[in-house]
A and B are shown apart, each in its own frame.
With several copies, the nearest count.
Chain A
Amino acid sequence: MPEMTYAAAVRSAMEWEMAKDPRVFIMGEDIGVYGGAFGVTMGMVDRFGKTRVRDTPIAEEGIVGAGIGAALVGMRPIVELQFSDFIMNAMDQVVNQAAKIHFMFGGRMSVSLVLRGPAGAGTGAAAQHSQSLEAWFHHVPGLKVVMPAFPDDARGLLLAAIRDPNPVLFYEHKLLYKVKGDVTESDAAQPLGQGMIRRYGRHATVVTYSLMVHRVLDAALQLAKNGWDVEVIDLRSLVPMDIPLIVDSVKRTGRLAICHEAVGRGGIGGEIAARILESEAFDFLEAPLLRITGLNTPVPYSPPLEAAFMPSVDRIAQSLETWLTREVVQS
């Protein structure tokens, strides 16, 4: 199992599938000789040519729509969004077209399309280039949403996304691109919809995904020094979401915390909370919910402001500790 960066793992999945399946191709802004704004497609054009690694004009609505059209005649396009924020320029194509075509035409068509690109803050790219918008898309029936935290997952889940007959949003956190890990270079895709317990614990369940998995795990280590033992669930895929895994965990720990980078208000944490509150885990809940999220602001630029926007290891650890101290002693 070679070690590689998250960016290389994403590339590896694309190259694997392109070598194997002539229907697969990628298009996007500056993905050819430039190698992509974050270098994810670096070198791919040399291997697969300009036709299958296709530079596009700056026209997100056009290229996402073109991805849909290509899928409708049997191709398997991957469209790179240079920053995932730019999906707004293609919102109609993503939501009114790609997501609905299968259902709306009575099952006569399917749109096998991957939209992938960098999400999240932490690079000083400011309000229009740093968003975490997954909550919008998990609210859209017909889309799948995948946000892996580790290189191996990125590769295996991207293989599954490319092979999926439905449109899949695949969000890569910018700060994960350089993270390294062992990656299985096989043909085996990882099924969408399975979460994973990254750490077992008994005091609380902390549900998280993407970059925040790493921060929560670091925070859990800090907490462990003070005798707190939290369970950490990495969702990996948000649609479909592994609700049974969370319910089961909360039944054991009795406490639910959720951590995501996206703006708290209306973030995916709300849906998770509601699902648990609706479930049989309700009777096991011993403490109020804790959400640790991005601030309710656009992402600010200046380093101290941006750092305050994002949940940091310290903020996560402190929030959890305050909460656990109050709730575990009380109950």
Chain B
Amino acid sequence: MTRSLIESQPKLSMIDQSLEWFRTMCRIRRFDETIDELFAQGKVHGTTHLYIGEEAVATGAIATLKPGDVITSTHRGHGHNIALGGDIRAMMAELLGRSSGYCHGVGGSMHIADQALGNLGANGIVGAGLPIAVGAALGFQMRQEPHLVLAFAGDGALNEGAFHEAANLAAIWHLPVVFVVENNQYGMSGSVKEMFAIGHLADRAVGYGIPATMVDGMDIFSVWEAASQATQEVRNGHGPRLIEAVTYRYKGHSKSDANRYRTREEIQQWRQRDPLDHVRQYLEDQGVEAAALDRIRHEEIQAVAQALEFAEASPWPDASTLEEAVYAPEEVDHA
């Protein structure tokens, strides 16, 4: 039902695929680094949640999707939309509040989503995307379409009632949905150690009868493997799956975070296991030249710079038509 830029996997060799991933991860990182700088310079309004450090999760999981599949995203959603193939110019413009942005400046950081690519929405409300994901999966199942839904959620979101109700619906109706839990150790300042009384978040899935696995979210190969297996099982009609990807957020929760709840050492330790370095190492080990990898990185740095130029050159939106934009005059094309 949708134009989709998601390529199916088989035609790529592991090296080609890894090169693609490396490119995507460089793009995500550079995009969010740029946003970080813009905030530091006071050039952006509002707040934002950066995906830096977690690139392997979105990239690896989304790499397993096929045309027609969809995702639901979160407040920390830039990485998801980029991994899906989203246009970083429209993303940057949205962040700068310009009319050429994905939402014509109406949405901002927390509402960037390319619906034509299958992104059913980033979401400012923690956990709120999960019942929506389940509903999309229900739609696919009712129409007997082979698509599935990848539903992203933070560790913190797992304590919201919305997660609970969504997980149970998915389980009892055997819906084609994979919950991808980005366990980056904290929900804002709340550490998973204090906010959960279970060792592994994946264990929570037991209570719904949903099979779950835990993977190293800093290692894209692990993420991809787990997601491949989960999506395969879901496509085979075995019902929902949950993946806990253990990862880390390098930057503060949002723009105003003094990091009082964690130590510099902890951040430093996680940075040692950088997901970009990891895939880069693999590629170098496979004989890919460092220069080729640098070139990819620079191309992405360039692309992000161009996106910023594009955004800055774009006009501001016009407030006079706001009230007309509230109700849909007719149905919009669907993902």
Is any CB of A less than 8 Å from a CB of B in the complex?
A: yes
A binding-site residues for B, Cβ under 8 Å: 25, 29-30, 32-35, 37, 51-52, 55-75, 77, 86, 89, 92-93, 96-97, 101-110, 112, 123-129, 141-142, 144, 165-166, 295-298, 300-309
The 6 A-B residue pairs with the shortest CB-CB distance in the complex, in nearest-first order: A65-B131, A69-B135, A124-B46, A62-B165, A302-B97, A106-B103
Q: By the criterion CB–CB under 8 Å, are B325 and A297 in contact?
A: yes
Count B interface residues, CB 8 Å: 83
| CB nearest to A239 among chain B residues | B327
A30 to chain B, nearest CB (A): 5
B277 to chain A, nearest CB (A): 30
Q: By the criterion CB–CB under 8 Å, are A30 and B190 in contact?
A: yes
Q: Which of A55, A56, A69, A303 contacts B97 (CB 8 A)?
A: A303
Q: By the criterion CB–CB under 8 Å, are A73 and B131 in contact?
A: no
Q: By the criterion CB–CB under 8 Å, are B325 and A103 in contact?
A: yes
Q: By the criterion CB–CB under 8 Å, are B322 and A69 in contact?
A: no
Flag whether B106 is at the interface (Cβ < 8 A).
yes
Q: By the criterion CB–CB under 8 Å, are B134 and A55 in contact?
A: no
Between A and B, 29 residue pairs with Cβ closer than 8 Å are A25-B142, A29-B187, A33-B260, A37-B188, A57-B168, A60-B160, A62-B164, A65-B135, A65-B165, A66-B132, A69-B131, A69-B138, A70-B142, A72-B115, A97-B132, A102-B326, A105-B106, A106-B102, A109-B335, A110-B330, A123-B47, A126-B108, A165-B328, A165-B332, A301-B105, A302-B317, A303-B45, A307-B319, A309-B319
A145 to chain B, nearest CB (A): 12
| CB nearest to B194 among chain A residues | A55
- Considering the complex, which residues of chain B in the window 94-147 have a beta carbon less than 8 Å from any beta carbon of chain A? 97-98, 101-111, 113, 115-116, 120-121, 123-128, 130-140, 142-143
Bound CA–CA A181/B323 (angstroms) = 37
Known A-B contacts A58-B126, A89-B161, A165-B329; the reply to A126 vs B319 at CB < 8 A is: no
Q: By the criterion CB–CB under 8 Å, are A105 and B113 in contact?
A: yes
Bound CA–CA A104/B106 (angstroms) = 6
Q: By the criterion CB–CB under 8 Å, are A59 and B168 in contact?
A: yes
**Number of CB contacts from chain A to chain B under 8 A:** 293
B binding-site residues for A, Cβ under 8 Å: 1, 44-47, 70, 72, 97-98, 101-111, 113, 115-116, 120-121, 123-128, 130-140, 142-143, 149, 156-157, 159-162, 164-166, 168-169, 172, 187-190, 194-195, 256-258, 260-261, 316-317, 319, 322-323, 325-332, 334-335
Bound CA–CA A105/B169 (angstroms) = 26
Bound CA–CA A60/B125 (angstroms) = 11
Bound CA–CA A40/B169 (angstroms) = 24
Q: Which of A52, A59, A124, A307 contacts B160 (CB 8 A)?
A: A59
| CB nearest to A86 among chain B residues | B125
A74: B residues at CB distance < 8 A: 1, 139, 334
B107: A residues at CB distance < 8 A: 104-106, 126-127, 301
Q: By the criterion CB–CB under 8 Å, are A73 and B136 in contact?
A: yes
Candidate in A107, A141, A144 with the most chain B CB atoms within 10 angstroms: A107
Q: By the criterion CB–CB under 8 Å, are B46 and A125 in contact?
A: yes
Known A-B contacts A30-B188, A109-B115; the reply to A61 vs B161 at CB < 8 A is: yes
B1: A residues at CB distance < 8 A: 73-74
B309 to chain A, nearest CB (A): 18
| CB nearest to B196 among chain A residues | A57
Q: By the criterion CB–CB under 8 Å, are B139 and A69 in contact?
A: yes
Q: By the criterion CB–CB under 8 Å, are B189 and A32 in contact?
A: yes
| CB nearest to B96 among chain A residues | A302
| CB nearest to B1 among chain A residues | A74
| CB nearest to B145 among chain A residues | A73
Known A-B contacts A55-B190, A106-B103; the reply to A124 vs B108 at CB < 8 A is: yes
Bound CA–CA A291/B95 (angstroms) = 32
Q: By the criterion CB–CB under 8 Å, are A75 and B139 in contact?
A: yes
Q: By the criterion CB–CB under 8 Å, are A302 and B125 in contact?
A: no
| CB nearest to B124 among chain A residues | A128
Q: By the criterion CB–CB under 8 Å, are A305 and B138 in contact?
A: no
Known A-B contacts A62-B162, A75-B139, A124-B45; the reply to A112 vs B331 at CB < 8 A is: yes
